[in-house]
Amino acid sequence: MKARVHVMLKNGVLDPQGEAVRHALGAMGFDQVEGVRQGKVIDLELAEGATEADITEMCEKLLANTVIERYEVELV
Amino acid sequence: MRAAVIVFPGSNCDRDLAVAFEQAGFQVDMVWHKDAALPEGVDIVGVPGGFSYGDYLRCGAIAAQSPICKAVVDHTKRGGYAVGVCNGFQILTETGILPGALLRNAGLKYICRTIGLKVETSDSAFTEGYNAGDVIGIPIAHHDGNYFADDATLAKLQDQDRVAFTYTENPNGSVGDIAGILSENRRVLGMMPHPERAADDGHGGTDGTALFRALSGILTPA
């Protein structure tokens, strides 16, 4: 089983890297870009028997810092 | 008086922190991150600066899961003293010992220079050697020092007089210009600036000495 975890900064938390990418795109002439948020994608390869609850625990304890980040789990 | 300085793979301020403790009269044990217990009779734990585990995932995230960090959490739960500097502050927030988190600097650049630091409270074992309102010169050296806490947490820190230090000129975007905070029982300090790098004449400044000297007088074992 494989799972893909998307980790993004919460709305309202400043993302200076996303902001720098937005500036760069604007400087390249992509005037249509109004906002950029940058996050992480973490692919997990899991042994048989792993549950969604296990993945949630991994996210809560390590993969995301829920003070500043939110996450979504996608089973693939 | 005994201090334990934790050493992670990638720590690089551990020896500086140990020397600062020693000069203030502490006997110092260096404690490896894989150890599951602190030495007997430790009065204060120092979590040093550096780049533990290469800052992979998030600064301090992997260090916070190391065996010794469980012992540090237990030590602080028993009312033990701890100080985390720079990466050590990031680790203390990742363990949940201190609230909030450290984000990438708002200007995206790694900043390494001496900054003005205002002492916000002298009501702690760490800051009682200063007067509230004092401005001291302490070096910073970080890429992820942008302190973030939600509005409720920030209000609580301010209401409880738990902001230890603020920047006189905010270098990194921290909310409320916050450079260092105290735990609810005022026995844990986390700060981004490096007082151990301003604790000897050879450093070019000694404004950090008062922090270590103040600690040496009042500690009782946890």
What mean pLDDT, rounded, does chain B reach? 96
Cβ separation of B93 and A62 shorter than 8 Å?
no
Residues of B marked as catalytic: 86, 194, 196
Q: Give the CATH number of domain A2-75.
A: 3.30.1280.10
Cβ separation of B107 and A16 shorter than 8 Å?
yes
Q: Residue for token digits 């975890």?
A: A5
pLDDT band at A36 (very low <50, low <70, confident <90, very high): very high
Cβ B120 vs Cβ B159: under 8 Å:
no
CATH superfamily of B2-218: Class I glutamine amidotransferase (GATase) domain (3.40.50.880)
Nearest residue in B to A40, CA atom: B57
Whether pLDDT at B51 is above 60: yes
**Chain B residues in contact with A65 (beta carbon < 8 A):** 58, 61, 94, 101
How far apart are the CA of A40 and the nearest CA of chain B, in angstroms?
9
Q: Residue for token digits 């401005």?
A: B135
Amino acid identity for residue B84 in this structure: G
Cβ separation of A67 and B103 shorter than 8 Å?
no
This prediction has a pTM of 0.94
* Buried b / exposed e along B106-139 (16+ C-beta atoms within 10 A): beeeebeebbebbbbbbebbbbbbbeeebebbbb
Rg of the Cα atoms in chain A:
16
Residues B56-73 pLDDT 10s: 999 999 999 999 999 999
User: Using CB atoms, which residue from B100, B108, B150 is nearest to A17?
Assistant: B108
Nearest residue in B to A39, CA atom: B57
State the pLDDT at residue B41.
Answer: 93
Q: Residue for token digits 């042994």?
A: A47
State the pLDDT at residue A35.
Answer: 95
How far apart are the CA of B48 and the nearest CA of chain A, in angstroms?
21
Write down the ipTM of this complex.
0.86
Q: Residue for token digits 């403790």?
A: B21
For chain A, the structural domain boundaries read 2-75
State the pLDDT at residue B222.
Answer: 47
For chain B, the structural domain boundaries read 2-218
Torsion of CA B136, B60, B94, B162, to 10 degrees: 0
Interface test with A, best of B69, B150, B153 (most A CBs within 10 A): B150
Whether pLDDT at A38 is above 70: yes
Nearest residue in A to B99, CA atom: A67
Whether pLDDT at A44 is above 90: yes
Q: How far apart are CA B47 and CA B130, in angstroms?
A: 22
Q: How far apart are CA B163 and CA B156, in angstroms?
A: 10
